[in-house]
Amino acid sequence: MTHYTRDEMMTVAAARLLWDRCVCFVGIGLPSAACNLARLTHAPDIVLIYESGTIGTRPEVLPLSIGDGELADTAACVVPLPEIFSYYLQAGRVDVGFLGAAQIDRHGNLNSTVIGAYDSPATRLPGAGGAPEIAAHARQTFVMLKATPRSFVARLDFRTSAGFLEGYGARGRTTARGGGPRAVITDFGMLVPEPESQELQLGALFPDATVDEARAAVGWPLKVAASIESIPPPSPPELETLRALHARTREAHSRPVHVPA
């Protein structure tokens, strides 16, 4: 079998969750790689939206920021930022939101604001950006986050974006229109919400990962679904497409920039 990294497995597993023609609000980093891998493999007509206002973008290389010129150059259209958030996201025109975070709890709530107290943080993180409204209004969200007991925590230091709040239907009693997290893709596999409690439980494992590894990486007593799916390893075309995308990206980002004097 071809060797692959856990990052590659995460990206491939996330890409497979997307379907052709779905409208997807993309975050930077692993989600951006996953969404573009889907577009370059099984979902050629996926509509990728970046929060900079680029709709239906088809970047040749992965952007470093959510507003690289590459995204505008290859977009079907570029709209003002207030429009993307109010007329598209808030209006319910986004199928999938992809989110990352520094911390996640057992109900899929996310922290990307601070570690420690808000007024005297140990670590000040970048903050919310588009995440709280993506989490609220995309019809469903996928979360990508590497698992350590510091990131998968029993209690968030700060709740930036709502997952299922306290679970048991708490989210449904808010004005959030979207359905919340459908899957969390992490180093060992995927967590999915248990329908009633809405607590994240182990639903799928990567080929070389174990239940014990998953339990050790999660900071709450992790429940395991009645049947655990085994996620197939990356196929050769998936791996080849992803690596070529990363290689093109590295080359493009190291190209010198000429600025007119």
Partner 1 sequence: MKLQSLASAIEQHVADGACVALEGFTHLIPFAAGHEIIRQGRRNLHLVRMTPDLVYDQLIGMGCASRLTFSWGGNPGVGSLHRLRDAVEHRWPVALELDEHTHAGMAAAYCAGAARLPFGLLRGYIGTDLVAANPRIRGVTCPYTGERLTAVPAINPDVTILHAQRADQQGNVAIHGIVGAQREAALAARALVVTVEEIVERLPPAMNGIVLPHWVVSAVVHCPGGAYPAYTQGYYARDNTFYQRWDAIARERAGFRAWMERHVLGSRDHAGFMASLREAA
Q: Would you tell me which residues interact with partner 1 (CB under 8 A)?
A: 28-29, 51-54, 63-69, 71-73, 78, 80-82, 85-86, 89-90, 109, 113, 118, 121-133, 136-137, 158-162, 165, 171, 174-177, 253-261
| Residue with tokens 């590497």, as numbered in its chain | 146
- Residue closest to 38 by CA, chosen among 71, 66, 16: 16
Of residues 41 and 109, the one with the C-beta less far from partner 1:
109
Residue 160 to residues 108, 113, 149, 204, Cα–Cα distance (Å): 11, 6, 19, 26
User: Based on CB atoms, which residue is closest to partner 1, 158 or 188?
Assistant: 158
Residue position matching structure tokens 């469903």: 140
Q: Which is nearer to partner 1, 21 or 124 (CB)?
A: 124
Residues with Cβ within 8 Å of residue 193, at least 6 apart in sequence: 107, 108, 164, 180, 181, 182, 199, 200, 201
The residue assigned the tokens 């049947």 is 227
Compare residues 56 and 67 and give the one whose CB is closer to partner 1.
Answer: 67
Provide the minimum distance between the beta carbon of 177 and partner 1 in the complex, in angstroms, as a whole number: 7
Residue 130 or 189: the one with the smaller Cβ distance to partner 1 is 130
For the bound state, the minimum distance from the C-beta of residue 260 to partner 1, rounded and expressed in Å, comes to 5
Q: Which residues pair with 143 in a beta bridge?
A: 99, 184
Q: Is 51 a catalytic residue?
A: yes
The b/e string for 39-58 (b: 16+ C-beta within 10 A; e otherwise) is bbbebeebbbbbbbbbbebb
Tokens of 157: 């230091």
**How many helices (DSSP H) and strands (DSSP E) are in the chain?**
7, 14
Identify the H or E element spanning 225.
strand 223-230
Q: At its nearest, how many Å lie between partner 1 and the CB of residue 54?
A: 7
Q: Tell me how far, at minimum, the Cβ of 190 lies from partner 1, in Å.
A: 23
Closest approach, Cβ 78 to partner 1, in A, equals: 6
User: Which is it for strands 77-78 and 200-205: parallel, antiparallel or unpaired?
Assistant: unpaired
Would you name the residues annotated as active-site residues?
Answer: 51
